[in-house]
Structure 1
Amino acid sequence: MKYLLFLAIKSQGKKARGFTLIELLIVVILLGVLAAISLPSLFGQVAKGRQAEARAALGLINRAQQGYRYEKGTFATLSELSLEAASISLTFYNISEVGTRDAFGAAYRANAVTEFDDDIKNYAGAAGQTAAGAYTGIVCEDETPLEDNVSTSNSAGVLACVDGIEIN
């Protein structure tokens, strides 16, 4: 009898240490809920980072156009710009000229490459000079990635966004 009592007391001192199945299940569920909440935000940040490429490129072209207009008296085609703006190497966008340049400005678009066409927004930009001599520049973005209709308008050097949102 003393031996059984000894074993009972001894076994109480060696309680099993670890997590129960229910505790582990609760932790896994909590991690799943946190992941479900944070992943959409992460994907949105990736798209914003890709779109920054187009905004920076169009801003660079705007500044280069204004400098070219100041020096040469006319706006340039993308290939005429002396800066590296003419040969910008972009990963997510293709830049093209829109319409013809004139004494009041030049316009261009940044269209997402085919692989990212439905994931990131398209952009349009223009540089201009008003009749009073003020230099203007604008960058516009599509309202959603699924729209491909953003453009700019130029009325005697006064620039505006058409079917898009002005971001500068």
Structure 2
Amino acid sequence: MEHVIRAVRADEWEKARELRLVALRDPLAHLAFLETYDVAAARPDSLWQERTTRAADGVAVRQFVAEAPDGRWDGTVTVLVERPGQEPMFGEPAEVDQTQLVGVFVRSETRGAGLADELFRAALEWSWELAGPPVQRVRLHVHEENARADAFYRKFGFVATGRRVDDPDHPGIQDLEYEVRRPAS
């Protein structure tokens, strides 16, 4: 594969912003993300700088990108660390030490090249190796009408937990929770 899968660096906030804005223009963005292009585009540079710095620190959050040989970012996934007793990021509070995958996106012109698989492998590997109490599961949420994402997550080994979360922007619509459990040692 030509792309390098790696964690973001703190000084790369402009690239992180650019890829997020591209993601929010995707035809399925309304099913996949909890913010709109207009809201994200209006955010100040300081927010993007803070967000990218936190993702680069790799303590409570880590963002992975698929970087092309020319330096362009063609995909991303962000991993949120969730510990019991913490306020939940989305969905129900953590009952076990876990991570949650969010912000999954691959540019349309590079889909089908295995970038999503590689990003997910990096995210899961980082989750299993995370310092502190061992992560017991990796979870994510998928909009019940997002068949493309649902198919990928199932193919990658995620299974439905049966938990559902109301979509905050669309009354009557729900996001389904999927998980992968920690492999046996």
TM-score of the aligned structures, taking structure 2 as reference length:
0.27
Larger radius of gyration: 1
TM-score of the aligned structures, taking structure 1 as reference length:
0.28
